[in-house]
Amino acid sequence: MILMNIDLKYILNKTVELLNIPSPVGYTHNAIEWVKNELKKLGIKNYNITKKGALIAYIKGKDSNYKKMISAHVDTLGAVVKKIKKSARLEVTNVGGFAWGSVEGENVTIHTISGKTYSGTLLPIKASVHVYGDVAREMPRTEETMEIRIDEDVKTDEDVLKLGILQGDFISFETHTRILDNGYIKSRYLDDKLCVAQILSYIKYLKDNKLKPKTDLYIYFSNYEEIGHGVSVFPEDLDEFIAVDIGLVAGEDAHGDEKKVQIIAKDSRSTYDFTLRKKLQETASKNNIKYTVGVYNRYGSDATTAVLQGFDFKYACIGPNVDATHHYERCHNDGIIETVKLLIAYL
Q: The domain containing residue 157 runs over which residues?
A: 78-173
In which region does residue 256 sit, left (phi positive, over 0), alpha (psi from -120 to 50) or beta (all else)? beta
So what's the pLDDT on residue 282?
Answer: 98
| Whether residue 17 is found in the same domain as residue 119 | no
Give the total number of structural domains in the chain: 2
The active-site residue, picked from 106, 225, 240, 329, is 225
- The answer, yes or no, to whether residue 3 has pLDDT greater than 80, is no
Of the residues 125, 140, 173, which one is the last residue of a structural domain? Answer: 173
- The answer, yes or no, to whether residue 27 has pLDDT greater than 90, is yes
Q: How confident is the model at residue 310 (pLDDT cuts 50, 70, 90)?
A: confident
Evaluate whether residue 202 is within a structural domain: yes
| Whether residue 51 is found in the same domain as residue 85 | no
So what's the pLDDT on residue 297?
Answer: 85
Evaluate whether residue 309 is within a structural domain: yes
Evaluate whether residue 53 is within a structural domain: yes
How do residues 196-234 score in pLDDT, each as one tens digit?
A: 999 999 999 999 999 999 999 999 999 999 999 988 888
So what's the pLDDT on residue 208?
Answer: 96
Three-state SS for 190? helix
Q: How confident is the model at residue 255 (pLDDT cuts 50, 70, 90)?
A: confident
**If you average pLDDT over every residue of the chain, what do you get?**
95
Evaluate whether residue 141 is within a structural domain: yes
Evaluate whether residue 184 is within a structural domain: no
The percentage of the chain sitting over the pLDDT mark of 90, rounded to a whole number, equals: 92
| Whether residue 246 is found in the same domain as residue 120 | no
* Residue 46 · residue 57 · CB < 8 Å: yes
* Residue 240 · residue 68 · CB < 8 Å: yes
| Whether residue 233 is found in the same domain as residue 335 | yes
So what's the pLDDT on residue 327?
Answer: 96
Backbone angles phi, psi at 137, to 5 degrees: -80, -40
So what's the pLDDT on residue 254?
Answer: 56
Evaluate whether residue 1 is within a structural domain: no
So what's the pLDDT on residue 256?
Answer: 84
Burial (CB count within 10 angstroms: exposed 0-12, middle 13-18, buried 19+), residue 1: exposed
H-type alpha helices, the chain:
8-19, 29-41, 129-132, 134-138, 157-163, 190-208, 274-286, 302-308, 333-346
Q: Active-site residue 138, yes or no?
A: no
Q: Which is more confidently placed, 237 or 74?
A: 74
So what's the pLDDT on residue 53?
Answer: 97
| Whether residue 91 is found in the same domain as residue 149 | yes
So what's the pLDDT on residue 252?
Answer: 62
Mean pLDDT of 69-92: 98
| Whether residue 203 is found in the same domain as residue 89 | no
| Whether residue 264 is found in the same domain as residue 340 | yes
Query: Can you give the CATH number for the domain in which 134 is found?
Result: 2.40.30.40
Cα separation, 189 vs 178, whole angstroms = 12
So what's the pLDDT on residue 107?
Answer: 98
So what's the pLDDT on residue 251?
Answer: 64
So what's the pLDDT on residue 253?
Answer: 54
Query: Can you give the CATH number for the domain in which 321 is found?
Result: 3.40.630.10
Evaluate whether residue 84 is within a structural domain: yes
Closest to 261 (Cα-Cα) out of 341, 174, 150: 341
Of the residues 147, 173, 199, which one is the last residue of a structural domain? Answer: 173
Mean pLDDT of 88-109: 97
How do residues 257-296 score in pLDDT, each as one tens digit?
A: 999 999 999 999 999 999 999 999 999 999 999 999 999 8
| Whether residue 139 is found in the same domain as residue 241 | no
Evaluate whether residue 258 is within a structural domain: yes
Pairing of the two strands 47-49 and 55-59: antiparallel
So what's the pLDDT on residue 131?
Answer: 95
So what's the pLDDT on residue 83?
Answer: 97
Annotated binding site for Zn(2+): 73, 191, 226, 245
